[in-house]
Structure 1
Amino acid sequence: MFRKLHSNRDPRDTLFRELKKEFSVYFGKAESGITASLRRYPKQAYGAMVVLMLVSLVLSFTIFRHREPAVSVTPAITSVQPGKPTEMLSPVSSGFGQILRTTFTLRQTLELKQQIDTLLTKRSLTAADSTRLATALDRLQHLQQSITIKP
């Protein structure tokens, strides 16, 4: 039931090697076809690249341009509190706010876990230690619920 399984596979056979072995024919044909067409029509390929860059330039300054006024991106840390919505901030600021909230929650979680670990390594707990342990576990559970509830 608990026998060790031995594999006789070659250690040089990896996923990348197998994929390369399987699809190298198709990639080789595509590479040779593209190379042949670029050698046959170099001016047209260069012209197509220049046209595509110009189209990209025009599109980036016309259609894809954001017309919203620039909003300062430096949110105050005190205004971003865990659990409070940030409707007043721009999408970038709310993203930073979410990152700050997550960092704050992670830092608190790590501190609570360290505190719990130090309390659990003690040989015997006093009444104050038991209260501190119960409070830390409750706070850790609350943080876990606040993380899992968010979409």
Structure 2
Amino acid sequence: MFRRIRSNRDPRDTLYSEFKKEFSAYAGKGSRFSQELAAKYPRLLFGLMTALLLASAVLAVLLHPKMVPPEKAKAQPQSEVLNSGFDHILAAGAALKTTIHLRRQVDSITAKQVLNKSDSITLVRDLDSLQHIRLTLPH
């Protein structure tokens, strides 16, 4: 089942060298063609390049979405701000307490030499709960 597979491939051959062998003729032809074209029609190429630059600038200006200032956030009453802040603090505290409990439980399970079925299920459930807590907390 675990037999070594022998290859007759030369170890010096790389993907780049194989591509170079295969496509170097086409790249050379393309390079010669573009040099001949540039030597034959330099003004045409310069004009085409300038026209493309101008078209790009015009399209960038015309298609750019309008810069709309964001709506000013409606001022919440001070009591709502304080309540929502306290709610975040209490939620973070409860999440921290749950996280500490789950971490202790995971550490005690992973310290065992042999796990039985219920240990494995508990471990998976606790790790999922830790992941859920991490994803739900605001950063």
Query: TM-score, normalised on structure 2?
Result: 0.54
1:55 is paired with a residue of what secondary structure?
helix
* Gap change, CA 1:56 and 1:134, over 3 Å in 2: closer
Between the aligned partners of 1:134 and 1:29, the Cα distance in structure 2 is 61
| Superposition deviation, residue 134 in structure 1 | 6.6
| Contact 2:38-2:45 at 8 Å conserved across structures | yes
Which residue pairs with 1:47 in the alignment? 47
Between the aligned partners of 2:69 and 2:26, the Cα distance in structure 1 is 48
Which residue pairs with 2:116 in the alignment? none
Which residue pairs with 2:65 in the alignment? 66
Offset from partner CA, 1:37-89 (integer Å, 9 cap, x none):
10111122111111110111111111x121251438xxxxx9xxxxxxxxxxx
Between the aligned partners of 2:67 and 2:3, the Cα distance in structure 1 is 66
| Contact 2:106-2:127 at 8 Å conserved across structures | no
1:123-142 equivalences in 2 (<5 Å): 123=112, 133=123, 136-139=126-129
The one of the two structures with greater contact order (alpha-carbon pairs below 8 A, sep at least 6) is 2
Structure 2 unaligned blocks of 5 or more:
72-83, 85-98, 114-118
| Contact 1:119-1:133 at 8 Å conserved across structures | no
| Contact 2:106-2:126 at 8 Å conserved across structures | no
1:44 is paired with a residue of what secondary structure?
helix
Which residue pairs with 2:21 in the alignment? 21
Identical-pair percentage? 38
Between the aligned partners of 1:134 and 1:51, the Cα distance in structure 2 is 63
The structure carrying a bigger helix percent of its residues is 2
1:1-151 equivalences in 2 (<5 Å): 1-62=1-62, 64-67=63-66, 69-71=68-70, 115=103, 118-123=107-112, 133=123, 136-139=126-129
Query: TM-score, normalised on structure 1?
Result: 0.50
RMSD: 3.5
2:112 is paired with a residue of what secondary structure?
coil
Q: Which has the larger radius of gyration?
A: 2
Between the aligned partners of 1:118 and 1:35, the Cα distance in structure 2 is 69
Q: Which runs of 4+ in 1 moved over 4 A?
A: 132-135, 140-143
Equivalent AA in structure 1 for residue 11 of structure 2: P
